[in-house]
Structure 1
Amino acid sequence: MACFFILLSACGSSATTVDMSDMSGMSGMTMASSVAHQHTSDAIAHFAVDSPHNLPKEISNITILVQNKWNRPIEKFDVMHEKLMHLIVVSKDLSYFEHVHPTYAGAGRFDVQTSFPAGGYYQLIADFTPTGSGESVQSHWVTIDGKAPKNVKLLPDKRLTKQVGDKEVTLAFDHLMAGMELDMVFSFTQGAAKTPVTNLQPYLGSVGHVVAISEDGNDFVHVHPTDSEATSGPTAAFKIVFPKKGIYKIWGQFQQNNEEFIVPYVIHVNL
C-alpha cells in the first residue's frame, strides 16, 4: 500500500508528497506547521496517511507519532475532554468536517481509520497534551486523488438559527471582536411548539463541544462549556477568543437520545 506524508509550508500555500512506505522511517519526519492556538509544549507530531490507492471513500489509516525535540517518543499524555487526542479533519473550503479520537498504541503513537469523501485537500488537526507540558495543536495537509468538488465559498450566515431535524438551534454572542474573550450561547428548542430542549446528554463530558477554524485554515479554537455541571439544555454557554479578524466556521457538537448532532455556522469577527 502507498503511504503519503505531506509537509505543510509556513504559509500553507504548498504541499510536498513524500513516499513513506517504510513506516520505520517515521522518526525522521519533518514537523508540520502548527495551527495558531495554544502550542506551548516541545512536542512534534509526525503524520502519515496510509491508503490503498489514495482515493476517496476508501479506508485510510492515519498514524500520528508524537516525539520530543530529540526525536524520542513522548510516552504519557493527559486526558483532555475524556480523550488523549482529538483529531479534526476538514476540507480546504471547510465544507467537510469530522471529529475523531485516535487510539493510543504506546511509545507516542496514535492510530485511527477514516475515509475522505472526495478528492482534494484536507487538513488534519491534532490536539493533545503531553503530561507535564502544555496543550499542543498541530496540523497537516493531505491530498486525496480523484475529482474534487467545486469549492464552496465561505459566506457569513445572515441568520444564526439552524434547523437540525425537528430541533432549532440559535447561536448568540455578546460581541464579535477579535482578541477579546466573548460569550457564545447556543439555545435549543424542539418541535412546532418550539419547546425548550432539556434532555441533552453529555458529549465528551459536558453539554457540548465547539470547534472554530478561520477561513484560511491557520487559526483553530477548541472550547468546552463554561459550566461543566449544566449538561441538559436548553442553553449551552461557552467562552471563546477569536485570535484575529475575519471569517470563521464554527461547528457545535451535541447529543440527544444517544445521537450526536452537529450544527455549523459561519461568522465574521471584527477588529
Structure 2
Amino acid sequence: MNTGLRITTFAAALAATFGAAYGVGQGVGPVVADNPPKHEGEHTRPAPEGKKGGGHAGHDTPPAGGLQISEGGYTLDLQTPRVTAGEQADLRFTVRDAGGRAVTAYQREHDKELHLIVASRDLATYRHLHPTRAADGTWSTPVDLPRAGGYRVFADFTPAGKDAENLTLGADLAASGPYQARQLPPESTTARVDGYEVRLTGALRPGKAGELKLKVSRDGKPVTDLQPYLGAYGHLVALRSGDLAYLHVHPNGEPGDGTTRPGPDISFTATAPSSGSYRLFLDFRHDGKVHTAAFTARAGGAAPESATPEGHADDGHGH
C-alpha cells in the first residue's frame, strides 16, 4: 500500500471512530472513563461483627472506596455495562480473583454476602440492591433506572477466608436515553420521606472520626419501634460528589446488644476521606417497609443552621 493510500485509510478509520463515539455520547449522556482514578491507599476495613463502632470508618483517615474496579487481587466484572432508562433490565456481574476465576465463597456481613449500590453520577438516583448468586459465581438482580446518564455500581463484600478483608469495587454503568443533568441538592439537616421526618445532627469531618446521629419521627412523634434491617436499625452510605467515592458506615451498636434502642436515634461513626460535598443515604425499616432518607452534607464546612427539608433519593430504590 502506498503512503498516500495508507494516510487516507487511517483518516477514514479515525473519523469513523470519533463518529461512533459521538453517537454513543448522544444516546447515553456523559461518558465515564474506563479506568477510574486510583484512590489514595487501601479501603478502610470494618470492625469485627458485634463490636461497637463497627463499619468502614474504623481508622482516623480512611481513604475513599469504590474508585477502583480491581483491588487486592479481585476484580468486578460487570457483564451489563449498559441498560435503557425507564426499562427493567437484568444486571449481571461476577467478582473474579487474581487468576480470573469467579469467586463463589463469601463471608456474610450484615445479613448478606454482598451489598450492591447503584448511584447516578449526579447523585439524584440511588439503589441499594440485593442480588442473588448462581452456583458459578454470577450475581444478578433486576434494576430499573429512571433517567439516562452515567451511573456507578458498587460491590461491597468480603471474600471467604481467615485473613480476607472487606473490599468495595466500582464499575461504570450507562443508561441510554435523553439525558439531562441535575444539580446536587443543597445542604440540609432534615429529610422527609414517605411521611417520616429524619433530622441529622453532627458533621462529617475530613480525616477525623465524628458521630452522625439521625432521629426518625412520624406525625411529629419520635419513632421508637424501628425494625432491624441488615442486622441493624439503620444503614448509611455516603458518596462524595464529583467522583462518587464510597464511604459505607454501619451504626454504633446493634439490635439485641442490650444497649442499642430501636429509635428514634440511630448513631454512626464516620470519617470523611477529604473535604467536599457528600450525599448521605439512610435506609431504615418501620412497619415492615424500608425507607430511604437522603441528605447533602459538607465535610470541612459548618452545617447549615436551618434548611428546607428535602425528600428521599429520586423515585426511591429497590431492596
Give the TM interval when normalised to the shorter protein.
Answer: 0.7 to 0.9
Displacement after TM superposition at 1:77 (Å) = 0.2
Q: Which residue of 1 is the match for residue 34 of structure 2? A: 8
Q: Does 1:244 align with 2:274?
A: yes
Displacement after TM superposition at 1:40 (Å) = 6.6
Q: Which residue of 1 is the match for residue 253 of structure 2? A: 227
Listed one character per residue, the Cα deviations across residues 119-154 of structure 1 (whole Å, up to 9, x for unaligned) are 211111111110121111111112222112x32212
Q: Does 1:47 align with 2:68?
A: no
Q: 1:62 to 1:196 in 2, by over 3 A?
A: same
Q: Could you list the structure 1 runs, at least 4 aligned residues long, displaced by more than 6 angstroms after superposition.
A: none
Displacement after TM superposition at 1:93 (Å) = 0.2
Partner of residue 171 from structure 2, selected from 136, 140, 144? 140
Q: Does 1:100 align with 2:129?
A: yes
**What does 1:1-271 correspond to in 2, within 5 Å?**
8-11=34-37, 35-36=66-67, 41-49=72-80, 54-132=83-161, 133-148=164-179, 150-157=180-187, 159-173=188-202, 175-191=203-219, 194-229=220-255, 230=260, 232-270=262-300
Query: What is the rounded CA distance, in whole Å, between the counterparts of 1:43 and 1:231 in structure 2?
Result: 38
Displacement after TM superposition at 1:104 (Å) = 1.1
Three-state SS of the structure 1 residue aligned to 2:107 is coil
Higher strand share: 1
Counterpart code for 1:177: R
Higher helix share: 2
**Alignment TM-score, normalising by the size of structure 1:** 0.81
Three-state SS of the structure 2 residue aligned to 1:49 is coil
Q: Is the 8 A contact 1:206 1:231 kept in 2?
A: no
Displacement after TM superposition at 1:231 (Å) = 5.3
Displacement after TM superposition at 1:36 (Å) = 4.7
Counterpart code for 2:225: N
Q: Is the 8 A contact 2:81 2:172 kept in 1?
A: no
Q: Is the 8 A contact 1:50 1:61 kept in 2?
A: no
Query: What is the rounded CA distance, in whole Å, between the counterparts of 2:101 and 2:194 in structure 1?
Result: 48
Listed one character per residue, the Cα deviations across residues 188-210 of structure 1 (whole Å, up to 9, x for unaligned) are 2221xx22211111111110100
Larger mean CA deviation between 93-102 and 134-143 belongs to: 134-143
Q: Which has the larger radius of gyration?
A: 2
Query: What is the rounded CA distance, in whole Å, between the counterparts of 2:108 and 2:72 in structure 1?
Result: 16
Structure 2 gap ranges (5+): 1-31, 39-64, 302-319
Counterpart code for 1:247: S
Query: What is the rounded CA distance, in whole Å, between the counterparts of 1:226 and 1:261 in structure 2?
Result: 20
Displacement after TM superposition at 1:7 (Å) = 6.7
Displacement after TM superposition at 1:112 (Å) = 1.2
Displacement after TM superposition at 1:57 (Å) = 2.0
Listed one character per residue, the Cα deviations across residues 25-74 of structure 1 (whole Å, up to 9, x for unaligned) are xxxxxxxxx6259x8742211011177xx422222222211111111222
Counterpart code for 2:284: F
Counterpart code for 1:185: K
Query: What is the rounded CA distance, in whole Å, between the counterparts of 1:244 and 1:96 in structure 2?
Result: 23
Q: Which residue of 2 is the match for residue 29 of structure 1? A: none
Listed one character per residue, the Cα deviations across residues 195-240 of structure 1 (whole Å, up to 9, x for unaligned) are 2211111111110100100001341011111111335201000111
